[in-house]
Structures are given as structure tokens and as C-alpha cells.
Amino acid sequence: MSAVSPKTPCVGLCSTVYGDLICRGCKRFHHEVIGWNGYSDEQKQAVLQRLDRLLAPLIERRFELFDSALLQKQLVQQGIRFCAAQSPYCWVWSLLARRARQIASLADYGLALRPSVQHQHLAELYQAIETEFFALSEAYYQRYLSPSP
């Protein structure tokens, strides 16, 4: 599996089919999920950039990335899909989503925990980031896209 940009940021947990305005899996908005295949490359890139701006700081606050080439190599070797066009901190998200419970040494991935979270298990960190990422996506939607009352 290569690091080429995925055809979709979908992670296979779509909740928009159940009426959610924001997908609980990939955090795209319902209209982006529905219209994705008709989007131009520029439109797709704009969505990926928004997701990157919301997610990367959440990861960076908790993890130090000291070797992005090693992280990329591990993701490719393990067949973990990631978007090469996004921040390497978003690649960490892809790793955690697939391997948070199996990682014995973050250094093997070019990563280290920041001191403020060293007491937390990776699965707990993943869940905390997931919750915060969804909340930020909701806030973005409410501020910029929600119809005014």
C-alpha cells in the first residue's frame, strides 16, 4: 500500500447514513460525504486541509514526532492507509486508529509522548483526541455552515 492520497478520507464508520450532520468516522460534513465523488481535486484538498487544521494540533499537543520518515515507512510496511498530503501528525492519527492497543514502543514509529500525557495509555489518548476532534468539527460546522435561526 502506498502513501498516495486516498480517494476518500472515509474510515468505514460513516454515521451520516443515520442522519448525523458530521460523520463520526472521518469528521466530514454530511454534504461532503454525499458529494465527495463529484468534488474537484481543489474541493477535496480544501476538505482535507480543514481536517488537518483541526486534527494536527490535537496530536501535536500529545506527541512529539521526531522522525516522520520512519513513521511513513512503518505505515506503509503495516498497510495503514494515510494521506501523504496531510500533516505527518495526521498520519499519527491513522496509526492510532489501527494500532493504539498493539504499539509497544512509540520510538519504533519516530514518536514520543509529551510529558503531560506520559501516564496515559495510547488507546485512552486516541479516544480523547477522537472526542475533541469531533467537538471541533461540530463547532466549525455550527459557526460556518449551520443555517442561522
Domain boundaries along the sequence of the chain? 16-144
Choice between 130 and 149, residue whose per-residue pLDDT is larger: 130
Q: What is the pLDDT of residue 39?
A: 92
Tens of pLDDT along 123-141? 999 999 999 999 999 999 9
pTM: 0.89
Tens of pLDDT along 29-88? 999 988 999 999 899 999 999 999 999 999 999 999 999 999 999 999 999 988 888 899
Residues 6 or more apart in contact with residue 26 via CB below 8 angstroms: 8, 9, 10, 11, 13, 14, 33, 51
